Amino acid sequence: MSHQGQGSTLVLYDLYLDEESNYGLALSPRKLHEEMRAIISDVRMKHRTGLLDVWEREDIGPATSFHSLEESHSRASVAGFARSETWPKELHVNGEVQLCNYSRDNMPAAKEFARLVIARFEPATAHLLVIVRGPGSPPRLEESADWKRGEPFPF
């Protein structure tokens, strides 16, 4: 089923890291921010602008990497976004990607974004939600999954 013309797709992820994870990439604010931008390019979305908010230390520490994304229509100034937030003491990364489905079905790109985050950060476990949202209809949970290292990506 195509989601073109049907609001947006939101994929939420919670990643739990361990000693086998790529935590040097996931928990380094600058590296995280650069990797998020690379993943945006890999899923063929157009980057508008980005913001890195580092809470404590520049080298490792809590941070939020936010990127606004653009689609090829003028109905909204920002058609999507990608965000990751780190919790180094807990070895936790949470985030989301929301892509507009106005001119094309971006659900595959949103899922691929989450798959690439997992592949590059190598968490021990991940919890994922896929939500389809408005306008005109209430948000709807499309899929959810719990993933563990070594298992195939769930969607």
| Domain, as residue range, for 74 | 8-147
User: What pLDDT was estimated at residue 135?
Assistant: 72
pLDDT-based confidence at 78, cuts 50/70/90?
very low
Cβ atoms of 16 and 124 within 8 Å: the answer is yes
Least confident of 25-34, 59-68, 130-139: 130-139
Whether 30 is covered by a domain: the verdict is: yes
For the cut 60, the answer to whether the pLDDT of residue 5 exceeds it is no
Assigned domain for 125 exists: yes
Residue 8: predicted pLDDT: 82
Question: Please, which pLDDT band fits residue 41 given cuts at 50, 70 and 90?
Answer: very high
One-letter amino acid identity for 51? L
Contacts of 35 (CB under 8 A, 6+ apart): 25, 120
pLDDT above 70 (res 74): no
The structure's pTM equals: 0.89
Query: 155 lies in a domain?
Result: no
Name the band, by pLDDT with cuts 50, 70 and 90, for residue 56. confident
User: Measuring CA to CA, how many Å separate 104 from each of 8, 56, 111?
Assistant: 10, 40, 15
Residues near 42 by beta carbon (within 8 Å), at least 6 away in sequence? 112, 116
CATH label of the domain that carries residue 29: 3.60.90.10
Q: Domains in the chain: how many in total? A: 1
Residue 71 in contact with residue 81, Cβ under 8 Å? no
Q: Would you tell me how many other CB atoms lie within 10 Å of the CB of residue 21? A: 19
Q: How confident is the model at residue 58 (pLDDT cuts 50, 70, 90)?
A: low
- Cβ(99)–Cβ(112) below 8 Å: no
In a domain? residue 26:
yes
Provide the residue type at 134 as one letter.
G
